[in-house]
Chains A and B, each alone.
Chain A
C-alpha cells in the first residue's frame, strides 16, 4: 500500500490545512489518536499542539517516519493492509485514515480494523464521483487525471477509488454509524449544501466521515 496525497495539498498548503482543521474539529481534546498513513506528521503535530492529543502514527515511507521522529511523534513504519491486526481492541479513541483508503488492498477489511482498534474512525478520501471526474470520463472517454488524482491508471497507488455514495454503502455494510460527514470542495472548504448525498457526490472533491461502531 502506498499513500498518496491529493496534489492540491502540495500546491495549496492552505487547502491541506483546512482539511486537517476539519479533522481536528472532529477530535475531542486529550484523546488517544492513531493516524494511519500519517505522512510527515503534520496532522498529528497539529492534534498534539492544539488538542493535547496523545497521538501515534503509521507511515509506509522511511522519509515520512524520520520527519515524524524529528517532530517527536511516535510513528512506526508500517502498512495499513498488514499491521492493523496487531493492535488490541479499543486501543484508541480515534483512528484516522486520511487520503489513504483508496490505496489499500482491502478497504473493507481496513475499515473494519479501524472500527475495532478505535472507538471512532475518521476517514477522508478523494471522491471519484466528483463532476470533474465524471465529465472527463464522459467526454474524454479515458480514466480521469485531475489535479486531485494526478496519476495515470497504470501507475497509481490508488487501486480502490470510490465515490462518496460507494463509501456510504460500505459503512452500512460494515455496520458503521455516520456521526458526521462533510464534502470538501477543491479549496478544502466544506460544500455548503445539505444532503441528499447525490449533491455531495457531485460537488465534493473529498469526503470526510466521522464513524462509530453501530453496536456501541
Chain B
C-alpha cells in the first residue's frame, strides 16, 4: 500500500471540491444553511446533476439520494473515475426511474467532497480548507440543503424521493420533515436509525483515518500530506460490511492470488486480501478523508424516532406520502428487521406502505447491483404512483 498516489490532490480532482464539473447552486452568506449542530453554514453551495425534463406542471421531479461514498453522478460518467454513474441500472432512459418521463435530480450531500460544501471546501474566512473547523452535519442537514436546492429550482413537491442505505435515511428524513413535498418515497436497504453495531464499524473506520500520521489532526490538505493508508484501511473494513459471507465465499473462497501455495509472509496471499487492498487503494483516489469522518458521523447520529419523542410512527403521522420499502435477505448491515421497523411504524401511522424483501446473497451492496426483482418492485411502485399523480 506504499504506492498509493495522491490523485485526490491533483489539480483536476482538487478542483471538484470548489468548482465541480456539474451544476452548482450557490447560496450567499445571507442565505445560510441551518444546521442541527447550531451555527448556520454560509456561504455554502450544493453540486447536483439533472436528467430529463421538468414538465409544465413541475410534477415529475424525482430526487435520488446517494449513499455514504456516492456522489451526484448517478447516471453519467464520473468526471473523477471515468466510470459509468453509480446507479445506471435504476436511473436512465427506460429504467425504473425513467429519465424519458421524469426530471431526475441527484445532489452531492452536504459534508461531501464532490462540489457541495464540506470539510475540504475552502473556508471563506481563512482561504484554506475547513478541515475540522467544518461543523458536524446530520442527515437532516443534508435534506435541508437538498430542500433549499429544490426551492431554488422552483419545485413545490417531489414526485418521488429514492435512495439506498444512507440515501434511504435521507428518503425517510424527507418524508418526515417535508411530508407535503414528497408524493412517493422509496427507501432501499435503509434504517430509521443507525444501529450500535454500525456505529461501531464507523468508529473503527474513523480511528483508522485519525491514526494515520499523515492525517495531521485533519489539516492534511493544508500541510500537504494525505492519510491514504488510514482511509484505505477504513474502506477495507467497511467494504466487508457491504458484502455477505456467502458472496465472499462464492467470489473468492480461500483462493490464492497469483500463486499456488502460501508464501509464509504477510503478502496478499489470498484473493480476498488482494481485492480489499484494491478497494482501499481506488477509494482514496476519489474520496476525501475528512468527508469520510463527517458523513459517517451523520449516519451515526441518525435516529428519526428520537426527533419525535421516541416514536417512529409519530414521525409519519398523517403522512399522505406513498411508501415502498425494500430490503435484501443477506444484508446484515441494514437487515430486513430495520426495514420492517420502518414498515411497522408506517402501518401504525396509517400511512400507505408497500414492502418487499428481495432474495439475494450479495449483502448490503445488492441495492447497487443487478437485482431484477428489485427493479420490478421499484418499477411497479413508481409507475403506479405516476398514474395517480397524472404523469404521462
- Residue of A32, A56, A71, A77 near B356 (CB, 8 A) is A77
B350's partner among A68, A78, A91 (CB-CB below 8 A) is: A91
Contact of B380 with A77 in the complex, beta carbons under 8 Å: no
Are A74 and B352 also in contact (CB < 8 A) when A66-B380, A69-B324, A87-B347 are?
yes
Judged by a CB distance under 8 angstroms, whether B387 is at the interface is yes
Residue of B356, B357, B377, B379 most packed against chain A (CB within 10 A) = B356
B380 touches A62 (CB 8 A): no
| Residues of B219-254 contacting chain A, CB below 8 A | none
Q: Which of B316-357 contact A (CB under 8 A)?
A: 322-325, 343-344, 347-348, 350, 352-357
Instruction: Specify which of B322, B323, B359, B384 is in contact with A70 (CB 8 Å cutoff).
Output: B384
* A6 nearest CB across to chain B (Å): 26
Q: Which residue of B lies closest to A74 (CB)?
A: B352
Cβ of A103 under 8 Å from chain B: no
Q: In the complex, are the beta carbons of A72 and B356 less than 8 A apart?
A: no
Complex alpha-carbon distance, A65 and B343, angstroms: 14
B381 at the interface (CB under 8 A from A): yes
* Among A69, A73, A74, residue most surrounded by chain B Cβ atoms (within 10 Å): A69
Answer yes or no: A75 CB below 8 A from chain B CBs.
yes
- B305: A residues at CB distance < 8 A: none
Given A71-B384, A76-B343, verify A66-B353 contact (CB < 8 Å): no
The range of chain B's interface size is 20 to 34
Interface residues on A, range: 20 to 34
Q: Closest residue to A54 on the B side, CB-wise?
A: B352
Given contacts A69-B377, A76-B343, contact A62 B359 (CB under 8 A): yes
Q: Does A69 lie within 8 Å of B354, measured CB to CB?
A: yes
Look across to chain B and name the residue whose beta carbon is closest to the beta carbon of A76: B355
Closest to B376 in A: A66
Q: Are A72 and B358 in contact (CB under 8 A)?
A: no
From B350, B354, B385, give the contact of A76 (CB < 8 A).
B354
Known A-B contacts A69-B381, A70-B384, A72-B384; the reply to A62 vs B352 at CB < 8 A is no
A77 to B352, CA, bound (A): 14
B322 to chain A, nearest CB (A): 7
Q: Are B356 and A66 in contact (CB under 8 A)?
A: yes
Establish whether residues B380 and A70, one from each chain, have CB atoms under 8 Å apart when the complex forms: yes
Report whether A66 and B350 are in contact in the complex, using a CB–CB cutoff of 8 Å.
no
Which residues of the partner chain B approach A216 to less than 8 Å between Cβ atoms?
none
A88 in the interface (beta carbon within 8 A): yes
B residues less than 8 Å from A74 (CB atoms): 322-323, 352-354
B212 interfacial contact with A, CB 8 Å:
no
Q: Which residue of A lies closest to B386 (CB)?
A: A72
Determine whether A155 belongs to the interface, using a CB cutoff of 8 Å to chain B.
no
- Which residues of B are found within 8 Å of A72, using beta-carbon distances? 384-385, 387-388
A77 CB contacts on chain B under 8 angstroms: 355-357
Min distance, Cβ A134 to any Cβ of chain B, angstroms: 41
Interfacial chain A residues near B307, Cβ < 8 Å: none
B372-392 with Cβ < 8 A to chain A: 373, 376-377, 379-381, 383-385, 387-388
Report whether B344 and A86 are in contact in the complex, using a CB–CB cutoff of 8 Å.
Answer: yes
Question: A160–B323 Cα gap in the complex (Å)?
Answer: 34
Contact yes or no, A68 B383, CB < 8 A: no
A65→B380 CA distance, assembly (Å): 10
Q: Shortest beta-carbon distance, A85 to chain B, in Å?
A: 10
> Considering the chains assembled together, what is the distance between the CA atoms of A87 and B351 in angstroms?
12
CB distance from B206 to the nearest CB of A (A): 35
Contact B356 A62 (CB under 8 A): yes
Q: Mark A127-165, 1 if CB is under 8 A from B, else 0.
A: 000000000000000000000000000000000000000
> In the assembled complex, which residues on chain B have CB atoms less than 8 Å from the CB atom of A68?
354
Closest A-chain residue to B353, C-beta based? A74
Q: Of B324, B348, B355, which one neighbours A78 at CB under 8 angstroms? A: B355
Judging by beta carbons under 8 Å apart, are B377 and A65 in contact? yes
Chain A, residues 48-59, CB within 8 Å of chain B (1/0): the string is 000000001000
**Chain A, residue nearest B381 (CB):** A69
Separation of A9 and B206 alpha carbons in the complex (Å) = 59
From A65, A88, A91, contact of B354 by CB (8 A): A65
Most buried by B among A68, A71, A87: A68
- Give bound CA distance, A170 to B162, whole Å: 46
**Which A residues touch B385, using CB under 8 A?**
72
Q: Are A69 and B384 in contact (CB under 8 A)?
A: yes
The docked-state distance in angstroms from the alpha carbon of A56 to that of B353 is 8
Residue of A nearest to B327 (CB): A77
Question: A70 to B383, Cβ gap below 8 A?
Answer: yes
A81-127: which have CB < 8 Å to B?
A: 86-88, 91
Which residue in A62, A67, A76, A86 is a CB contact (below 8 Å) of B353? A76
The 4 closest A-B pairs by CB, nearest first: A72-B384, A70-B380, A76-B355, A69-B380
**Residues of chain A at the chain B interface (Cβ within 8 Å):** 32, 56, 62, 65-78, 86-88, 91
Q: A66-B356, A70-B380 are in contact. List 7 more A-B contacts (CB 8 A).
A: A65-B356, A69-B354, A69-B381, A74-B323, A75-B354, A76-B343, A77-B356
A-B contact pairs, 7 of them (CB 8 A): A56-B347, A65-B354, A69-B381, A72-B388, A74-B323, A75-B354, A76-B325
